[in-house]
Structure 1
Amino acid sequence: MKKTITEETKAVIFDMDGTLIDSMWIWPDIDDYYIRKYHLTLPEDFHRAIEGKSYHETARYFRDTFDMELTTEEIMEEWTSLAYQRYTQEVTLKPGAEEFLRYGKERGILFGIATSNGRTLAEAALKALRIEEYFTSVRTSGEVEAGKPKPDIYLKVAEDMQVQPEHCLVFEDVPMGILAGKRAGMKVCAVYDEFSRLLDLEKKQLADYYVRDFRDVMSQIKERGTDGE
């Protein structure tokens, strides 16, 4: 297995949902509730159509695709209300993530988050998991011109951290996110997630590296010594 962390790695940028935290399981339940409440019929390409989109872009997709009378902001507010308790009480870190964060902090690696989720849920999850202190930059795709697979959000986080893209390593769980990281000129490590398991082959083909979770990353580091050599 190729080592993911090298002496060139100055910063690590995580996608959040499905990558850093185990949270993608929340959204099918919310989708099912929403579909029933508003009597919607999902198109066959629904999941791929919204993959990588920002929270705002996904809400706009719902409004336009289903000709909903709600505004984009009203849709986002309802989703946030439905998901908030789970993000603060039920989500967990991916295995090995906290150990990896501690390792990086001790060695001066900067950490950032580039999420397609909304800021309210992102900040709530990080606070509930008590890991806010690790991150130099937390950005959402709604704060840049376009969501993934455009590279905007990854470039913004790198800019915040004052690290050149070639010295950034991205962790992502879906193809559109992997493409965003690659288009930003960064190395990208795909992370397994149950929600996107059927896309694993595509993820492996697009990414520079692949891990099941962050225990794999820590195993590589320990095998090669504390400096990741």
Structure 2
Amino acid sequence: MLEQIEAVIFDMDGTLVDSMWVWTAIDQEYIDNYHLTVPEDFHTAIEGMSYTETAQYFLDSFPQLPHTLDEIKQEWFQMSLDKYTHDVHLKEGAETFIREIRRRGIRTGIATSNDRKLVEQSLQAMGVAGLFDTISTGCEVKRGKPAPDVYLKAAENLKTPPRECLVFEDVPMGILAGKNAGMKVCAVDDWFSRPQEAKKRQLADYYTHHYDEILNHTFEVLG
């Protein structure tokens, strides 16, 4: 998997850290607080959207909300900060894997739909902020996932051609973003996206249940 790879780029939530439960809880709390009725396709509709795009989706879908775009984002930030700095942890084997690939001279980055401040404070709380050469967010590019923009931005920051980048992602829209960027993609198992496992396997180049499988060569090669 790592042959001819010069940079590895991680999605954050559900891929690098076990955090999708945070957003499930916050979504429900926010929906209950404002007595919102969400459409059946709510979770699939927002999959891959940037933090800003998701807030805009709420404004467009629920015009009764008494907030601006920035106010919604700030409320979500406050609701999630404590969880991200105290209760969110790296996925199994992730730190060992990252330290090993950096030892081999492979550059590392994050390309996330999440808020930059939240990502930075979470990484600092886990003591791993220094393990990443760059962080790119969906709010800093024109289009969120499945568009390739955030991965292309990460590759640009890492000074690495897309064909020499390997992406780790946990949901189909993210996998598509990596593939649309011309990169190899390893799908990562996560409880939240497990119902989409067949789609993930269809789109990705590799599949892993945890990062130890990469170093001991027990990951799956797809296709």
Alpha-carbon RMSD across the aligned residues, in angstroms, is 0.9
> Which residue is 2:38 aligned to?
42
Using the TM superposition, give the Cα deviation of residue 198 of structure 1 relative to its aligned residue in structure 2, in angstroms: 0.1
1:103, 1:80 → 2: CA distance?
A: 32
Give the counterpart letter for 1:41 in structure 2. Answer: T
Partner residue of 1:62?
58
- Residue deviations 1:39-79 (CA, integer Å, cap 9, x gap): 10010000000000000000000011011231111001000
Which residue does the alignment assign to 2:221? none
Q: Output the TM-score relative to the length of structure 2.
A: 0.96
8 Å contact kept, 1:9–1:168: yes
Residue 209 (structure 2) aligned to one of 198, 209, 212: 212
CA distance in 1, matches of 2:39, 2:205: 32
Which of 92, 97, 107 pairs up with 2:94?
97
Whether 1:86 aligns to 2:87 is: no
User: Is 2:2 aligned against 1:5?
Assistant: yes
Q: Is the 8 A contact 1:96 1:218 kept in 2?
A: no
Matches within 5 A, 1:16-165: 16-67=12-63, 68-165=65-162
Q: CA deviation at 1:28?
A: 1.3
TM-score, normalised relative to structure 1: 0.93
Distance 2:27 2:158 in 1: 35
SS in 1 for 2:111: strand
Q: How far off is 1:195 after superposition? A: 0.7
Count the aligned residue pairs.
Answer: 217
Distance 1:72 1:177 in 2: 24
Structure 2: runs of 5 or more not aligned: 219-223
Pick from 189, 194, 197: which aligns with 1:192? 189
Give the match's secondary structure for 1:16.
Answer: coil
Report SS of the residue matched to 2:109.
Answer: strand
Q: Which amino acid aligns with 2:52?
A: H
Structure 1: runs of 5+ lacking an equivalent:
222-229
Q: Percent identity?
A: 55
Name the SS for the 1:92 alignment partner: coil
Partner residue of 1:227? Answer: none
Contact 1:191–1:213 (Cα < 8 Å) also in 2: yes
* CA shift for structure 1 position 134: 1.3
- 2:179 and 2:102 map into 1 onto residues whose CA distance is 24
Distance of 2:32 and 2:98 partners within structure 1: 40
Contact 1:63/1:69 (8 A) holds in 2: no
Q: Distance in 1 between matches of 2:214 and 2:99?
A: 13
CA displacement 1:118-154 (0-9 Å, x = unmatched): 0111001110111111111101100000100000000
Q: 1:107 Cα shift? A: 0.7
**Structure 2 CA distance, aligned partners of 1:59 and 1:219?**
41
